[in-house]
């Protein structure tokens, strides 16, 4: 259990983290989101004990990190965004060096970590010769050396190609089966794929905290329908939709290829309030003999919620229905 109680951190007159309180139980994969400068990295560094909070307290399994720093740090593995590696060392030698520094039996641990982190085929290479993806894996193996109960990863897929990102995501999900994992990332789709819970930080404060679907439901105020119809023109369809209660802004959607249909019309329709316009849309299209190919609900994405809670909240502006698709 990780417990932050009224934690703040200032740098001179600047307050990077402002009175945050959060509990993270064992066995969760938690995504820590926020724009640049929101306080994510500062928060993670305080949890690891690298930085001391200016106010409040942090405890791990009931132990205050300020009172028992060594015991707490033994429970934590930390991989910063740019893992600090010795580029002139061979991977096997580096991991054995880390094991010796941490009092771990290298013969028993290094081979198993190489297998878990997918490093077996590069153990004989210099770290400086490795791709960024493999360097991230070496950094992850370093963080896992003491078999920590808590793993904290700062932008673990930053700078990786798509194949490497998928490999690292799968690795994190596998590791998260037996550990508490905190992941800081700018890739919102990544959070949806691997995290059980999302914490969004803006200007040093927590503005949202909960399961991804719950955050969407609570903070996502927009529902959009994607509609594709054949046998009519765009103007005819728009005119028809004008009589349906609950339909707000309309905009063109990416066209869909339908075999045998020359030019189906695709639109994105914003839904106002709690209206359910789909039955009326279906009946009106059927009555005119047009062909309904698609009528799909698209609820707010995590990206839209993130923007509403950070950019829009900070500027005092909202996101119009026409912008949300």
Assess contact for 227 and 266: CB atoms under 8 A.
Answer: yes
pLDDT tens digits, 152-170: 998 888 777 788 788 888 8
pLDDT surpassing 50 at residue 244: yes
Judged by average pLDDT, the poorest of 117-121, 152-156, 160-164, 248-252 is 160-164
| Per-residue CA distances from 8 to 4, 23, 140, 259 (Å) | 10, 15, 28, 60
Q: What is the mean pLDDT of residues 227-251?
A: 91
pLDDT surpassing 90 at residue 292: yes
Handedness of CA 36, 37, 38, 43 (dihedral sign): positive
Q: How confident is the model at residue 64 (pLDDT cuts 50, 70, 90)?
A: very high
Q: Which residues contact 137 (CB under 8 A, 6 or more apart)?
A: 117, 118, 119, 168, 171
pLDDT surpassing 90 at residue 125: yes
Q: What is the mean pLDDT of residues 6-35?
A: 92
Domains of the chain in sequence order: 2-217 (3.40.50.300), 223-299 (3.30.70.3100)
Handedness of CA 174, 29, 185, 254 (dihedral sign): positive
> Hey, what are 239's tokens?
């005119």
Q: Which among 190, 164, 160 is positioned nearest to 30, based on CA atoms?
A: 190
Place of tokens 């839209």: 304
Place of tokens 């695709």: 266
Is beta strand 63-64 parallel, antiparallel or unpaired with respect to 55-60? antiparallel
Q: How confident is the model at residue 221 (pLDDT cuts 50, 70, 90)?
A: low
pLDDT surpassing 90 at residue 176: no
The confidence score (pLDDT) of residue 220 equals 54
**Top mean-pLDDT range of 63-77, 179-193, 200-214, 299-313:** 63-77
pLDDT surpassing 50 at residue 322: no
**Top mean-pLDDT range of 35-44, 159-168, 248-257, 296-305:** 35-44
Q: How confident is the model at residue 314 (pLDDT cuts 50, 70, 90)?
A: very low
Q: How confident is the model at residue 257 (pLDDT cuts 50, 70, 90)?
A: confident
The confidence score (pLDDT) of residue 192 equals 78
> Considering the chain, what is the average pLDDT of its residues?
85
The confidence score (pLDDT) of residue 311 equals 64
The confidence score (pLDDT) of residue 270 equals 82
* pTM, full prediction: 0.70
The confidence score (pLDDT) of residue 234 equals 92
Q: How confident is the model at residue 276 (pLDDT cuts 50, 70, 90)?
A: confident
CA pair distance 77, 73, nearest whole angstrom: 8
The confidence score (pLDDT) of residue 43 equals 93
The confidence score (pLDDT) of residue 222 equals 56
The DSSP H or E segment spanning 5 is: strand 2-11
């Amino acid at each position: 259990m990780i417990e932050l109680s009224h934690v703040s951190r200032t740098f001179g007159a600047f307050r990077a983290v402002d009175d945050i309180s959060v509990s993270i139980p064992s066995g969760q994969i938690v995504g820590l989101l926020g724009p640049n400068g929101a306080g994510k990295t500062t928060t993670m560094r305080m949890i690891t004990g690298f930085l001391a909070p200016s106010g409040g307290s942090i405890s791990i399994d009931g132990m205050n990190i300020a009172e028992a720093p060594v015991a707490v740090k033994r429970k934590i593995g930390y991989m910063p965004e740019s893992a600090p590696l010795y580029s002139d060392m061979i991977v096997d030698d580096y991991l054995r060096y880390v094991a010796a520094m941490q009092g771990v039996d290298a013969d028993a641990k290094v081979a198993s970590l190489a297998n878990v982190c997918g490093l077996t085929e590069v153990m004989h290479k210099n770290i400086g010769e490795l791709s960024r993806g493999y360097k991230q894996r070496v950094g992850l193996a370093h963080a896992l050396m003491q078999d920590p109960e808590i793993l904290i990863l700062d932008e673990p897929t930053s700078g990786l190609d798509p194949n490497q990102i998928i490999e690292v995501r799968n690795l994190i999900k596998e590791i998260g089966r037996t550990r508490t994992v905190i992941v800081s990332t700018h890739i919102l789709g990544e959070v949806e794929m691997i995290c059980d819970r999302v914490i969004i930080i803006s200007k040093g404060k927590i503005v949202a905290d909960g399961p991804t679907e719950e955050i969407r439901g609570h903070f996502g105020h927009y529902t959009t329908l994607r509609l594709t119809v054949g046998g009519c023109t765009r103007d005819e369809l728009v005119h028809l939709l004008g009589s349906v209660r609950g339909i707000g802004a309309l905009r063109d959607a990416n066209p869909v290829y339908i075999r045998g249909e020359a030019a189906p019309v695709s639109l994105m329709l914003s839904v106002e309030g709690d209206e359910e316009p789909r039955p009326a849309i279906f009946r009106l299209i059927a009555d005119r003999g047009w062909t309904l190919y698609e009528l799909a609900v698209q609820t707010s994405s995590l990206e839209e919620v993130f923007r509403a809670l950070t950019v829009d909240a900070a500027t005092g502006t909202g996101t119009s229905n026409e912008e949300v698709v």
